[in-house]
Structure 1
Amino acid sequence: MVHLDLDNCQRCITLPPLGQFPSLKDLCIRSLYAVKSLGLEFFRDAVSEPFPALETLEFEDLREWKDWKFPLDVANAIFHRLCKLTITSCPKLAGKLPSHLPSLEKLVLYRCQQLVVLIPSLPMLNGLMICGYKELVQTSTIGFSKLDRMELSNISKLTCLTEGFMQGLTEVVSGLLFPFLKKVSLFAKLRLLFISCFEKLEALPNCFHKLASLRRLFIAGYPNIISFPEEGLPPNLTTLELGGTNICKPIFKWGVHKLSSLEELTVCRCQDVESFPQEEIGMKLSSSLTQLMIENFPNLRYLYTGASDTSTLWPA
Structure 2
Amino acid sequence: MVSLQLKGCKYCNQLPPLGQLPQLKELRIIKFDGLVTLGSEFYGSGTSYVTKSFPTLEILSCDSLKFLPLDHFPSLKSLDVWGCKNLEALTVSESDVTTTTLNSLQFLCVRHCPNFMSFPKGGFAAPKLTLLTINYCDKLNSLPEKMHHLMPNLKELQLQGCPKIESSTMTTLKIKICNKLNEGKQNHSDPLFARLEGLASAQSPSSS
Normalising by structure 2, we get a TM-score of 0.65
User: RCO higher in 1 or 2 (8 Å CA, sep ≥ 6)?
Assistant: 2
Task: Give the C-alpha shift of residue 30 in structure 1.
Answer: 0.6
Instruction: Tell me, in whole angstroms, the C-alpha distance in 1 between the residues paired with 2:162 and 2:42.
Output: 31
1:126 to 127, 130, 133: 130
Q: Does 1:96 align with 2:90?
A: yes
Rate the CA distance shift 1:183–1:68 in 2: closer, same or farther, 3 A. Answer: closer
Contact 1:145/1:168, CA 8 A, preserved across alignment: no
Rate the CA distance shift 1:169–1:131 in 2: closer, same or farther, 3 A. Answer: farther
Task: Give the C-alpha shift of residue 87 in structure 1.
Answer: 0.4
Give matches, 1:223-234, under 5 Å: none
**1:5-30 deviations in Å (ceiling 9; x for gaps):** 11223343321232553211100001
Q: Give the counterpart letter for 2:158 in structure 1.
A: E
Task: Give the C-alpha shift of residue 65 in structure 1.
Answer: 1.7
Instruction: Tell me, in whole angstroms, the C-alpha distance in 2 between the residues paired with 1:25 and 1:18.
Output: 12
Coordinate RMSD, CA, aligned: 3.1
Q: Give the counterpart letter for 1:47 in structure 2.
A: G
Percent identity over paired residues: 25
Higher Rg of the two aligned structures: 1
Rate the CA distance shift 1:20–1:67 in 2: closer, same or farther, 3 A. Answer: farther
Contact 1:16/1:41, CA 8 A, preserved across alignment: no
1:137 to 136, 143, 149: 143
Aligned length: 163
Comparing 130-139 with 42-51, which one deviates more in the overlay? 42-51
1:148 to 133, 146, 155: 155
Rate the CA distance shift 1:146–1:57 in 2: closer, same or farther, 3 A. Answer: same
SS at match of 1:138: coil
For structure 2, which runs of at least 5 residues remain unmatched after alignment? Answer: 93-99, 167-174, 181-189, 195-208
Instruction: Tell me, in whole angstroms, the C-alpha distance in 2 between the residues paired with 1:125 and 1:23.
Output: 24
Rate the CA distance shift 1:143–1:31 in 2: closer, same or farther, 3 A. Answer: same
SS at match of 2:40: helix
Normalising by structure 1, we get a TM-score of 0.45
**1:81-128 deviations in Å (ceiling 9; x for gaps):** 210000000111113345532111001110112222325221101111
Q: Give the counterpart letter for 2:144 in structure 1.
A: Q
Instruction: Tell me, in whole angstroms, the C-alpha distance in 2 between the residues paired with 1:91 and 1:144.
Output: 27
Higher helix share: 2
Comparing 116-125 with 93-102, which one deviates more in the overlay? 93-102
Rate the CA distance shift 1:23–1:32 in 2: closer, same or farther, 3 A. Answer: same
Higher strand share: 1
Contact 1:124/1:144, CA 8 A, preserved across alignment: yes
Rate the CA distance shift 1:52–1:46 in 2: closer, same or farther, 3 A. Answer: farther
